[in-house]
Amino acid sequence: MMQHNTIYIAGPMTGLPNYNYPAFHSLAARLRARGLVVVNPAELFQPEEQGLRWEYYMHRAISALLTCDSIIVMKGSGRSRGACLELIIAKSLNFRVSHDDGQTWEIADMEV
């Protein structure tokens, strides 16, 4: 069941140091400090789940995304296959889409 007013963080992870988790955690903390309910994909996995197939992570991430009604897109997401997929799904489901600097993005602005 979808939680209303729940925001999902989409951003690049693959190939980045520490899977870019520090940036995800920082953004999640800023959003939560504003009283928002946040789904942070960097919190979905345990350390023993490192090194698995990309599809494994995306199945879990997309399941979490579907519990939300808005998405915030981190800088660099246009180069992320997973973040672009998440954005396509979110746009298709009429989620509110925001960029982490407060700008609203349209899917045409992304490198999909």
Is 64 inside a domain boundary? yes
The answer on pLDDT for 47 being more than 60 is yes
Please provide the average confidence, as pLDDT, over all residues in the chain.
87
Number of compact structural domains in the chain: 1
User: What mean pLDDT do residues 19-39 have?
Assistant: 95
Is 89 inside a domain boundary? yes
Q: Give the model's pLDDT for residue 112.
A: 40
Is 10 inside a domain boundary? yes
Please state, for a pLDDT cut of 90, what percent of the chain lies above it: 67
Q: How far apart are CA 86 and CA 8, in angstroms?
A: 9
Is 22 inside a domain boundary? yes
Is 26 inside a domain boundary? yes
> In this structure, what CATH number is given to the domain that contains residue 55?
3.40.50.450
Q: How far apart are CA 43 and CA 28, in angstroms?
A: 10
- Summarised one tens digit per residue, pLDDT across range 60-111 is 999 999 999 999 999 889 889 999 999 999 999 999 999 887 565 555 554 4
Is 1 inside a domain boundary? no
* Both tokens assigned to 48: 């023993």
Please state, for a pLDDT cut of 70, what percent of the chain lies above it: 86
Q: In terms of residue numbers, what domain contains 18?
A: 6-109
